[in-house]
């Protein structure tokens, strides 16, 4: 049986739970700043622990259910046994304060907008490390919590969209890539140029693009060539590194639907299954994407990336529209 690799946030969550519980107990059941801080630590601890096994939206939903259940039980049973004028027990008092706040945050994140931070260079040149991006959650329809199935359609996911989705190889991790193929498309990537359904894309030379990449030995300057790719009407910048092949075949995983693909030294050809998408990073030679781990199902789609709203290292990027 494989051991679970727990992160530091899990152990910090356990510590916060212990300290928070002690603070609540030491407050002697009286609502005070000590008890308020204790509850805050307990909540943060629960988030840290539970987030290790599920996504943050599900954690928020669980907290809504817990606090809402306390309020419902109080209304149906506990309140009837309290004398007139008695104050609410501390667990009812803080549930009343907590419930509307977490409900509002959950609705905002689940159905409207969510913020993410770019952790890698896979979407350069348009998105850089440190970009905080705003993701439109309802652009692709209203989705059921947990299952993420569309219940009210709005727009379809289209080629060229920059999309945030659930990682297909690691739980509780989200990725951002560009959609280059939708259901039914035949995608060919030969000698670092895309062909979609037999149509070769146009590429316009746009000079060079250099950036620093962190390595164990310090920053390394990466030199690439920049092109404007016309993805059947959607024009955007990509970069390629002449030192790498179109796909490193040794890194290709045994993913679901791999029988729809064929690989060789020049690249690959894939037929996108129904209800799935083919994703690629704009930094074509520094991106682990559908070439390596396969297709993305529709119920893994989380939203459409639309703007950069913050980058502490480069404030000029604030307000940059994501093409």
Catalytic residues: 122, 177
What is the per-residue burial (b if ≥16 Cβ within 10 Å, else e) of 23-46? Answer: bbeebeeeeeeebbebbebbbebb
Structure tokens at 64: 């809504």
End-to-end Cα spacing for the chain: 45
What is the per-residue burial (b if ≥16 Cβ within 10 Å, else e) of 127-151? Answer: bbbebbbbbbbbbbbebeeeebeee
**CA–CA separation, 12 vs 61, rounded Å?**
21
**CA–CA separation, 295 vs 298, rounded Å?**
10
Question: What are the backbone dihedrals phi and psi of residue 283, each rounded to the nearest 5 degrees, phi first?
Answer: -85, 80
Q: Where are the alpha helices (DSSP H) in the chain?
A: 8-26, 33-50, 56-76, 90-107, 290-293
Question: What are the backbone dihedrals phi and psi of residue 122, each rounded to the nearest 5 degrees, phi first?
Answer: -70, -20
């Amino acid at each position: 049986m494989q051991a679970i690799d727990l992160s530091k946030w899990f152990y910090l969550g356990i510590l916060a739970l212990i300290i928070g519980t002690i603070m609540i107990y030491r407050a002697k059941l009286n609502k005070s700043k000590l008890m308020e801080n204790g509850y805050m630590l307990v909540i943060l601890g629960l988030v840290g622990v539970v987030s290790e096994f599920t996504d943050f939206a599900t954690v928020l939903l669980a907290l809504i259910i817990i606090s809402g259940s306390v309020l419902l039980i109080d209304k149906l049973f506990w309140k009837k046994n309290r004398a007139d004028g008695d104050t609410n027990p501390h667990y009812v008092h803080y549930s009343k304060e907590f419930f509307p706040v977490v409900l509002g945050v959950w609705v905002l994140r689940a159905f409207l907008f969510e913020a993410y931070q770019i952790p890698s260079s896979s979407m350069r040149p348009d998105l850089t490390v440190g970009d905080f991006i705003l993701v439109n959650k309802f652009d692709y329809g209203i989705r059921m919590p947990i299952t993420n199935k569309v219940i009210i359609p709005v727009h379809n996911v289209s080629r060229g969209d920059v999309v945030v989705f659930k990682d297909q190889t690691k739980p509780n991790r989200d990725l951002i890539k560009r959609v280059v193929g939708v259901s039914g498309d035949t995608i060919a990537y030969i000698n670092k140029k895309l062909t979609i359904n037999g149509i070769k894309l146009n590429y316009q030379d746009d000079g060079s693009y250099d950036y620093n990449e962190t390595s164990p030995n310090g920053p390394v300057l990466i030199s690439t060539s920049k092109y404007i790719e016309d993805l059947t009407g959607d024009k955007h910048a990509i970069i390629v590194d002449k030192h790498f092949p179109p796909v490193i075949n040794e890194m290709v995983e045994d993913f679901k639907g791999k029988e729809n693909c064929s690989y060789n030294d020049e690249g690959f050809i894939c037929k996108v299954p129904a209800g799935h998408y083919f994703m690629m990073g704009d930094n074509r030679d520094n991106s682990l994407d559908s070439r390596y781990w396969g297709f993305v199902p529709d119920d893994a789609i989380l939203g459409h990336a639309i703007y950069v709203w913050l980058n502490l290292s480069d404030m000029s990027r604030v307000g940059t529209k994501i093409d």
